[in-house]
Every structure is written in C-alpha cells, then in structure tokens.
Structure 1
C-alpha cells in the first residue's frame, strides 16, 4: 500500500479496511486480519493499525471479541456505502461539476467519452 501525505496513515489504513469490506474480501461476522498481521502486510507499526481499528470500532464498522480478534460488523458495508456516497455527492462531485463548468464540458461529452474509451 502506498501512503500519501494528504491524511494521517491510520485514516488511510481505515480506508483500506473499508475497501476490503466493500469488496467483500472481509465479510461481516468474519474475522479480519489481526493488528500484527495487517501491520506486517502494510509494513507499518502495529500501534498505527491499532489506532485505525479503534477508529473503525468507534464507527461500528468492526468490533473486537476479546481474546479472539476483530470482526467486520453486520452493518459495516451499508454504513460505509452511506458515508462514502454522502461524501462523494456533497464534496467530490461538486468539484467535478465545477471543473466541467470551467472547462465547458457537457454531461453529454462525458457520457460520450466513457462510452467510447
């Protein structure tokens, strides 16, 4: 995984975990990689992964079964989709439309571009 300087590493790890849930690589009620396993895979400090997992627990995306490990919650996928859709529609899409307006690009041009690439 390539980390950027745009946001804290633990948040990027949290997004990575949410991507795994959306892609159904980590399914609800199934054990996800341990803190140490994920830290080794991503080549980061286990404390950073723990901070990401704490953040995801606060959002009820994952939960901890003491002595067993972490699991994706039953509502994780729905919660992630709702949150990400809201962010995309309210922040990212606004930037896209503003750029389209500045460059005088119509929706029809965008559709045509994607249909012919």
Structure 2
C-alpha cells in the first residue's frame, strides 16, 4: 500500500481511492473483508474520522458494506461498478477535453490515433 498522501485532494478521498484501486486491481474481491478502520488508522497514522469519512463514502456508493460486529466487506459487483464509473470519468476528464482541443488545433482523428500508437510504442 502507498502511504504517502498529496495535497491535491483531501486525505479521506485518497483513502477511498486507495481502497477502490485495490478492488479494481483484484487485491480485494467481492465479499472479501477489508482492513478495519483501526488497522487503517494504525497503518496510515492518520485520524480515525478521516478514515471513517472515506469508508463511509464507499458504503454510501454501495462499494463496501458493513456487517455489524464483524467488519466491512467488498460488495458483490463492486469492481464492475467502479470500472463503469471510472470509464465515465475517463471520458469526461480526459477524452472529451482532448477531442475539443484537437478540434481547435485541426488535429484529425487519424492523427490522434497515430499519436496514441506512437506513445504506446515508446513505453
């Protein structure tokens, strides 16, 4: 787990995203228990309320669920739900602005495709 946080967004959102990343990357699977709030507090050395706020967002979004007295678990279908959400975000945050800028610059779809293939080849 990455233990460094940045100032670009609140820590509770970064905690939420770390857990989401673990689900998307199959480190946490459907109906699998996630670390407790106390374990996360001890690992990250941050306030209990900060961890709880991130966890509660995941519960509200149906990504994880709580079993009273047992712990928190990844909801069935959470990975698919997250992938759908992230694809929509990718479209809105990256592709749409890229296409709009390409249009302003007179860059064709073919040119964009060539640029993407060149970048993929240089990795």
Find the residue that maps to 2:73 and give its secondary structure.
strand
Residue 106 of structure 1: SS of its match in structure 2? helix
Q: 5 Å matches for 1:1-117?
A: 1-98=3-100, 106-117=112-123
Which digits, 9 at most, give the CA deviation of each residue in 1:40-80, with x for residues without a partner?
A: 22221121111111110000000000000000000211110
**Deviating runs (4+, > 6 A) in structure 1?**
none
Compare 68-77 and 38-47 and name the one that shifted more.
38-47
Distance in structure 1 (CA, Å) of the matches to 2:57 and 2:74 = 13
Aligned length: 117
Partner-residue secondary structure (3-state), 1:82 = helix
TM-score, scaled relative to structure 2: 0.83
